[in-house]
Amino acid sequence: MTWQEWIAQARLFHAANLLAEGQRVTDVAAGVGYASLSAFAKAFTNLMGMSPVRFRNL
């Protein structure tokens, strides 16, 4: 794993923690550094196997 991949993964795991607290997906995406909600949703889904909204609602 490259350091860029490691950082991206760390950002998404942090995002998962924020979503588990019930924060809004839009706020989480911006908070972990994504300028685009769609880019965040795609990256999150690829890593976690489900959309950020579905993850938050679990």
pLDDT of the residue at 36: 95
- Which residue stretches of the chain have pLDDT < 50? none
pTM higher than the cut 0.85: yes
pLDDT of the residue at 46: 97
**In the structure encoding, which two tokens stand for residue 55, read together?**
């993850």
Beta-carbon contacts of 56 under 8 Å, excluding residues fewer than 6 positions away, are 19, 20, 22, 23, 25
Q: Do residues 32 and 14 lie in contact, with contact meaning Cβ atoms separated by under 8 Å?
A: yes
Q: CA–CA separation, 30 vs 41, rounded Å?
A: 12
